[in-house]
């Protein structure tokens, strides 16, 4: 079920919030083995859905946007009176006394928040193979990772446990699991969505954003949660501006090529090339652009992430290092041992990267590249630290530069989903979503099996 279709059915009184919620609860039970949730909120939302049913009986013209829509939240997002763990032992008994700003907005919009999703511990990783709360299993192949760090949110959407979900993204943590689970994930421009009430990983790179089954649904959620927050020092004013509508034949597309991109798995590149071919067959032009310079940005993103994470977790690492999983502890120690020169160099590369993209997007509207360079890796016998370097390779540059980026399904390899990443201009989020909608429509019409 798509959110936009559920909205229509609710307003036509062909369905009720309780019916939607019942379907969600049934899916949560059916797919429990995938490890998508740490905490559920079923009793509370059942009560809320019953109240919404009565409201629907008498009123349907002025319903809030997400009225009756079951959504899930990554477990590093504060939820008042509901456990929030960040996938960590340090917060296992933490119950916030207030909601994150994004949660307040979702509640005000009428959403039914069914629970808190599993994730990679403290969001520092890409497998969501959590040593404390269990692994997240890929719904397409349970022996493989779901991606991370927002693995549970992507699973919840892919299996129908929720019609949409929120994740966080510091190096690709929304887009990677969305790609590997075959759904849509959107990281907006840095500062467009408040991070107040989010347990941080890296202050200069953290983003909050939606995962859903189509671009339209992602846009619906984004329009609710976006906007300036005067109480968030990292929020940007006038960030959710409306963009001029863009016609299909006006879209200027750059296709990423070069040695950096060619490091992707051959089968992934084949799917990527085929997707671009489909777009060209639909009268879109896509010029090839060498993006080897993204490599340095990806490395710099990792440096900043680890240094800032080590700063935030300094006392916890000193007092209870054994409470961290092995891979997370290793990365925090790497951040602790990085020099001031390492961090300053990474921040310099961040500034240069932003400038280069400002020049790049004078010529283009969007950049296309694979979301993840490999298919979903097996859970067993993998080095999570090295896996993070591989899986974030194509996503991390856009956290560093703060550019909006979205992943949409574009094909499969051995029944495993492959995502197409579409990157847009800074603070042109609405334009990017419009273009992504056009490209999604073309790919779905060209290849019907991509329809969720």
Choose among 246, 279, 238, 217: nearest CA to 452.
Answer: 217
Burial 48-64 (b: 16+ CB within 10 A, else e): bbeebeeebeeeeeebe
Q: Where are the domains of the chain?
A: 3-225, 250-403
- In CATH, which of 3.90.1300.10, 1.10.260.40, 3.40.630.20, 3.20.20.60 is domain 250-403? 3.90.1300.10
Residue 452 has pLDDT above 90, yes or no: no
Q: What is the pLDDT of residues 416-447, one digit of tens each?
A: 999 999 999 999 999 999 999 999 999 998 77
Residue 449 has pLDDT above 90, yes or no: no
C-alpha 25/C-alpha 163 separation (Å) is 12
Q: What is the distance between the terminal CA atoms of the chain, rounded to a whole angstrom?
A: 9
User: Residue 450 — pLDDT band, cuts 50, 70, 90?
Assistant: very low
Q: What is the pLDDT of residues 351-369, one digit of tens each?
A: 999 999 999 999 999 999 9
Angle at 300 between CA 297 and CA 167, to 5 degrees: 85
Highest mean pLDDT among 39-53, 235-249, 375-389: 39-53
How much is the pLDDT for 96? 99
How much is the pLDDT for 61? 76
Residue 249 has pLDDT above 90, yes or no: no
Domain 3-225 falls under CATH 2.60.40.10: no
User: Residue 246 — pLDDT band, cuts 50, 70, 90?
Assistant: confident
Q: So which residues are the catalytic ones?
A: 74, 149, 173
Burial 301-323 (b: 16+ CB within 10 A, else e): bbbbbbbbbbebbeebbeeeeeb
C-alpha 346/C-alpha 400 separation (Å) is 9
Against a cut of 0.75, is the pTM above it?
A: yes
Residue 245 has pLDDT above 80, yes or no: no
Sign of the Cα pseudo-torsion (244, 71, 75, 212, in order): negative
The DSSP bridge pattern shows strands 286-290 and 405-413 to be unpaired
Q: What is the pLDDT of residues 126-166, one digit of tens each?
A: 999 999 999 999 999 999 999 999 999 999 999 999 999 99
The average confidence (pLDDT) of the chain is: 97
Burial 183-222 (b: 16+ CB within 10 A, else e): bbbbbbbbbbbbbbbbbbbbebbbbbbbbbbbbbbbbbbb
3-225 and 250-403 agree in CATH topology: yes
Sign of the Cα pseudo-torsion (337, 341, 342, 348, in order): positive
How much is the pLDDT for 382? 77
How much is the pLDDT for 295? 99
C-alpha 212/C-alpha 182 separation (Å) is 10
């Amino acid at each position: 079920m798509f959110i936009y279709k559920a909205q229509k059915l609710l307003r036509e009184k062909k369905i009720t919030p309780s019916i939607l919620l019942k379907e969600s609860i049934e899916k949560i039970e059916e797919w429990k083995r995938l490890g998508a949730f740490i905490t559920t909120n079923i009793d509370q939302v059942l009560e809320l859905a019953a109240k919404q049913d009565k409201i629907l009986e008498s009123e349907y013209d002025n319903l809030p946007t997400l009225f009756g829509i079951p959504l899930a939240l990554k477990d590093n997002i504060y939820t008042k009176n509901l456990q929030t763990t960040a996938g960590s032992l340090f917060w296992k008994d933490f119950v916030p006394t207030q909601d994150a700003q994004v949660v307040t907005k979702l509640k005000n919009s009428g959403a039914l928040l069914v629970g808190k999703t599993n994730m990679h511990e403290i969001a520092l990783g890409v497998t969501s193979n959590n040593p404390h709360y269990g692994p997240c299993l890929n719904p397409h192949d349970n022996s493989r990772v779901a991606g991370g760090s927002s693995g549970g949110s992507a699973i919840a959407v892919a299996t129908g446990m929720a019609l949409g979900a929120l994740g966080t993204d510091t190096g690709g943590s929304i887009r990677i699991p969305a790609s590997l689970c075959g759904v849509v994930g959107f990281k907006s421009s840095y500062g467009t969505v408040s991070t107040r009430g989010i347990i941080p990983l890296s202050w200069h790179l953290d983003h909050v954003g939606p995962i859903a089954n189509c671009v339209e649904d992602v846009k619906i959620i984004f329009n609710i949660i976006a906007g300036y927050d005067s109480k968030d020092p990292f929020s940007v004013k006038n960030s959710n501006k409306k963009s001029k509508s863009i016609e299909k034949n006006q879209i200027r597309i750059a296709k990423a090529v070069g040695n950096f991109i060619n490091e992707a798995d051959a089968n992934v590149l084949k799917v990527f090339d085929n997707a671009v071919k489909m777009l060209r067959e639909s009268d879109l032009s896509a010029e090839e652009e060498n993006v080897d310079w993204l490599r340095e940005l990806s490395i710099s993103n990792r440096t900043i992430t680890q240094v800032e994470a080590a700063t935030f977790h300094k006392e916890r690492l000193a007092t209870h290092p054994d409470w961290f999983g092995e891979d997370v502890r290793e990365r925090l120690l790497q951040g602790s041992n990085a020099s001031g020169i390492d961090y300053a160099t990474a921040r310099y590369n961040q500034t240069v990267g932003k400038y280069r993209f400002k020049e790049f997007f004078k010529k283009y509207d969007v950049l296309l590249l694979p979301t993840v360079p490999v298919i979903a890796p097996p859970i067993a016998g993998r080095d999570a630290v090295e896996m993070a370097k591989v899986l974030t390779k194509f996503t991390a540059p856009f956290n560093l530069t703060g550019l909006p980026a979205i992943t949409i399904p574009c094909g499969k390899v051995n029944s495993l989903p492959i995502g197409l990443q579409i990157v847009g201009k800074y603070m042109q989020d609405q334009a990017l979503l419009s273009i992504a909608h056009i490209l999604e429509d073309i790919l779905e019409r060209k290849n019907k099996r991509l329809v969720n």
